[in-house]
Amino acid sequence: MYQEHLKALEASGRLKAHTDLLEISCGRGGGLAHLTAHWPAALDAIGLDWSENALATCRKRHHRFANLTFVRGDALALPFADESFDAVLNVEASNDYGDYAAFFHEVSRVLRPGGVLLYCDTRRPDRIARTEQAMRAAQLDGELRDITANVLEACRLDTPRRQALIRRRIPWLYRLVLKKVLANYAAVAGSERFEDFRLGRRKYIMACAVKSAQSSAQET
């Protein structure tokens, strides 16, 4: 998904010679580190997360990147000044925030005019239109694309690798007790999450949304 977001940014024509990038809810930082290593132009990146444990892992694993830093913060109260970033990235995290409208408004606040939100998450089909309305109300112009079929096929093809990773990394007792939880987390073929995608009970959506150049003028 991180690579797909970079492709979407390039296709939008908004990739700059230098980008200030923020990932909200960076987790253990692997995705952001991958982008930092493969970004096709100059980049300064910040990964934000609420978990100190996750941030400690990020700093330990990704310290080799001089242009990548990690900070603690709340997705609904970002600790950055207005118009600080050219791009904001959010991957499979917004369902945990509890307030989509507040999240999108915070993203819009820290984006520069013409800046881009690179966004993906899962939704129930009946909530997609509401999410898109909240995004646009925050002056973020873009369409939520349904890429469920692509994600489903990727999960199917990657199931053997994911299952092998669970067997290799998770102690046998935890595998036994948390079998369904681990399968759903990894979205392996046959899991409840996989079936939700297959049967259309849940959709995977993606957006490359642009902050209106008029929004800053309207706010002042």
pLDDT tens for 36-83 read 999 999 999 999 999 999 999 999 999 999 999 999 999 999 999 999
Does this model's pTM top 0.75?
yes
Q: Fill in the amino acid letter for 79.
A: P
pLDDT tens for 85-121 read 999 999 999 999 999 999 999 999 999 999 999 999 9
Residue intervals in the chain for CATH 3.40.50.150:
2-147+203-215
The gap between the terminal CA atoms of the chain, to the nearest Å, is 36
Q: At the fourth CATH level, which superfamily is domain 2-147+203-215?
A: Vaccinia Virus protein VP39 (3.40.50.150)
Residue 220, pLDDT above cutoff 90: no
Burial of 183 (0-12, 13-18, 19+ CB in 10 A): buried
Minimum mean pLDDT range among 77-86, 153-162, 205-214: 205-214
The separation between CA 27 and the C-alpha centre of its own chain, rounded to angstroms, equals 10
- DSSP letters along 75-133, please? TTB-SS-TT-EEEEEEES-GGGTS-HHHHHHHHHHHEEEEEEEEEEEEE-GGGHHHHHH
